[in-house]
Amino acid sequence: MKNGLIVLLAFFYGNILLANVKPNSLFTSNGVLQQGVIVPVWGTANEDEKITVEFNGQTVATVTKNGKWMVQLKPMKASNTALSMVIKGENTVTIGNILIGEVWLCSGQSNMGFPVRSIRALGAYPKAEDVLKDAQNYPLIRQFSVPLKKSVTTPVKINDINGKWNVCDSIAAKNFSAVAYFFGKELYKKLQVPIGLINSSYGGTAIENWMSKETLESFPELKSIFTNYEKALNEFPKKMEDYTRNEKNLLEAFSRDSSDAKKFNKEMPRKPSAPMSPAERGGPTGLYNTMIYPLLPYAIKGITWYQGEANGGRGIQYRTLLPALINLWRKDWNNDKLPFFFVQIPGWKGHPPELKEAQLLTYQKVPNTAMTVIYDVDDSTDVHPGNKQPVGERLSLPARALVYGEKKLEYMGPIYESMKVEGDKVVLTFSHANKLVAKDGEIKDFVIAGNDKKFVAAKAQIKNNKLVVYSTDVKNPVAVRGGWRLCPQINLYNEAGLPASPFRTDVE
């Protein structure tokens, strides 16, 4: 009898809980809604429950179907004044301190997730403690942190993520994405409206993790992604077994090599660590299902993307992957012109030039995109360059110019456009090339080749705002490359102080 009563009470209270109207976690205190567009608001409730949403003078209602509800708010003007949203069903939910302004999705892997507290400033840029002290002056900047979550063993799309909005201050900003924070800060300084930053990033993740299964399967050339993933899963137990068996020897060798590195002032070796399961960071489609799909269709202005390190050895494949991801997300947000601005991966010993080229080709082929070049802002020996302020600031330039209409604002560095052979010299034309200039002396990091495709070091000179490249060793040049190496050292800039992207004229 007692057990039966417990079951009955559990059923009764369970149904009460199910009946409670619950907004998606994107609609929680301290949030920012996008100005100037229709704003969907959604959540869950009991079947056929009438839901009413009141916000900023609007009242809209709907009825729950299949446990879900959604309403649409009409376009609203920006509001720096905190507003409340009231959602009524069989219960009432009041959400406070909501602002209306500009909302951007900031996604990618660890360099996008890299927090403000960890920045390592160079030159005149402020240190982390000074940045955090200043952060208290920007309470109208808010970040929504998408929890790290993957879906591999059961690859189904989820509908909510249990994230939260945080108001920018000296404490909360410690965990803000540094790139997103400096991006948002620049927008706020120019627009003077609230800035919402949705940080959905996960370290060490490949681009295919952020894409839908349907998209990946629609490209025959991407079939190997799934087969290679399955192969890696099958091989992982043996890799783990081998590491465990050899761990002692590996650590002893590391200790010896570290001592030698210190003694002879050489680069420190990397400490051995246990292999990571391919499933650890979601695998193909895993993060799309759990960290992108649940955000749909939250109203946003655009997307910033900083990823590519995990795809470093697959530059040719990335030519397909990055445009496909952009098109997928634009389709998801029902906006084929949704601004998509991305960071070209910086110089590092593990970043082959083909990956940077894939990013360059994407910018050149996909409309309403822009590429931020950053190989010159930090140490090329670190896969996680710590000087994030210039990255975020440069990333804000295309938003300011292309989205918010700042006229005459240069937002990218020189981009190779065309070549013309004139005798034994090659004349290169660039876009975004107003007043080309060489920093620190002669132009460097260019090579040239003839029909034999044997590239040799070349000299380069700026003439009539074009670049003339030549070598006395090449009489009939056919191709030129600039910064075509792991760590580019091009010192060619435009008047705005933005560096040229690495490139080659002989794109394969």
Q: What is the 3-state secondary structure (H, E, C) of 266-288?
A: CCCCCCCCCCCCCCCCCCCCHHH
Residues 151-174: b if buried by 16+ CB within 10 A, e if exposed: bbeebeeeeebebbbbbbeeebbe
Look at residue 491 and give its three-state secondary structure.
coil
Gyration radius of the chain's alpha carbons: 26
Of the pLDDT bands very low, low, confident and very high (cuts 50, 70, 90), residue 178 is very high
Q: Which of 283, 302, 321 is the last residue of a domain?
A: 283
Q: Is the pLDDT of residue 10 over 80?
A: no
Beta partners for residue 173, in sequence order: none
Looking at residue 370, its pLDDT comes to 99
Q: How far apart are CA 397 and CA 373, in angstroms?
A: 12
Q: How far apart are CA 88 and CA 59, in angstroms?
A: 11
The lowest-confidence range among 110-114, 203-207, 279-283, 447-451 is 279-283
Quick one: which H or E segment has residue 71? Answer: strand 68-73
What are the phi and psi torsion angles at 493 (to 5°)? Answer: -130, 165
> pLDDT tens for residues 419-466?
999 999 999 999 999 999 999 889 999 999 999 999 999 999 999 999
Looking at residue 19, its pLDDT comes to 52
Q: How far apart are CA 329 and CA 305, in angstroms?
A: 12
Letter for the amino acid at 137?
Answer: N
**Block residue for tokens 């009898």:** 1
DSSP state of 434: T
> pLDDT tens for residues 324-379?
999 999 999 999 999 999 999 988 777 889 999 999 999 999 999 999 999 998 76
Q: Which of 256, 283, 310 is the last residue of a domain?
A: 283
Evaluate whether residue 466 is within a structural domain. yes
CA distances for 272 relative to 82, 128, 351, angstroms: 50, 29, 21
> pLDDT tens for residues 243-257?
899 888 888 888 898
Q: How far apart are CA 197 and CA 188, in angstroms?
A: 12
DSSP state of 502: P
The answer to whether 114 and 177 are in contact (CB under 8 A) is yes
Q: How far apart are CA 402 and CA 417, in angstroms?
A: 20
Mean pLDDT of the chain: 92
CA-wise closest residue to 54 among 74, 29, 84, 24:
84
Evaluate whether residue 200 is within a structural domain. no
CA distances for 133 relative to 87, 137, 172, angstroms: 36, 8, 11
Evaluate whether residue 247 is within a structural domain. yes
Domains in the chain, number: 2
What value does the mean pLDDT take over residues 400-422? 98
What are the phi and psi torsion angles at 437 (to 5°)? Answer: -150, 150
> pLDDT tens for residues 483-507?
999 999 999 999 999 999 999 999 9
Evaluate whether residue 461 is within a structural domain. yes
Looking at residue 156, its pLDDT comes to 64
Q: Which domain holds residue 238?
A: 223-283
Evaluate whether residue 489 is within a structural domain. yes
Evaluate whether residue 72 is within a structural domain. no
Q: Which of 283, 315, 333 is the last residue of a domain?
A: 283
Q: How far apart are CA 55 and CA 69, in angstroms?
A: 16
Q: Is the pLDDT of residue 385 over 90?
A: no
Evaluate whether residue 446 is within a structural domain. yes
Evaluate whether residue 484 is within a structural domain. yes
What value does the mean pLDDT take over residues 226-231? 88
Of the pLDDT bands very low, low, confident and very high (cuts 50, 70, 90), residue 14 is very low
CB atoms within 10 A of CB 441: 7
In DSSP notation, 305-324 reads EE--GGGTT-HHHHHHHHHH
Query: Strand 195-201 vs strand 141-145: parallel, antiparallel, or unpaired?
Result: parallel
Q: How far apart are CA 450 and CA 456, in angstroms?
A: 10
